[in-house]
Amino acid sequence: MKFRIGLLLATGLAAAVVDSGAQAPAGARPARNTTKADVERTLPLTCVQAWTASGRQYPQMLATVIMLAKVSLANRNLTFPNTREAGEDAGKGIADDCKADPDALLFAIVDKHVRRVARAAP
């Protein structure tokens, strides 16, 4: 598979999720400037399809992963730890799982790692 999200995704997710307010309580919008149509369009994509839809551009792929992470956090009433390590942990897990199974649903992978790293909202 030729898309490169590995450590870049891990590091980017760490910085972006923590800096963007993904730790906000449930009920918050999934992402700034994100519409319901954006979320609905992204939910059924596999890792490869999401990478292609991103134009094979890292910033767009990262934005997709962050949007899906925020949906997972809101739906599960979780908060994301406000640490770079938590973002790196989730990002590395997402990247590794997408590499291992490029045809897996990206949201399923993101949700798995958000649940693994996040904690219940206060």
Does residue 101 lie in a domain region? yes
Note whether residue 68 is domain-resident.
Answer: yes
Q: Is residue 62 part of a domain?
A: yes
Question: Does the residue 1 lie in any domain?
Answer: no
Mean pLDDT of 69-85: 93
Distance CA 74, CA 77 (A): 5
Q: What is the pTM of this model?
A: 0.76
Residue 36 lies in a domain: yes
pLDDT per residue over 4-35, tens digit each? 444 445 545 555 554 444 443 334 344 456 78
How many domains would you assign to the chain? 1
Angle in degrees, CA 88, 92, 94, rounded to 5: 120
Is 77 within a domain?
yes
| Alpha-carbon separation of residue 100 from 93, 96, 103 (angstroms) | 10, 6, 9
Burial tier of 115 (Cβ tally within 10 Å: 0-12, 13-18, 19+): middle
| Residue numbers of the domain that contains 11 | 6-120
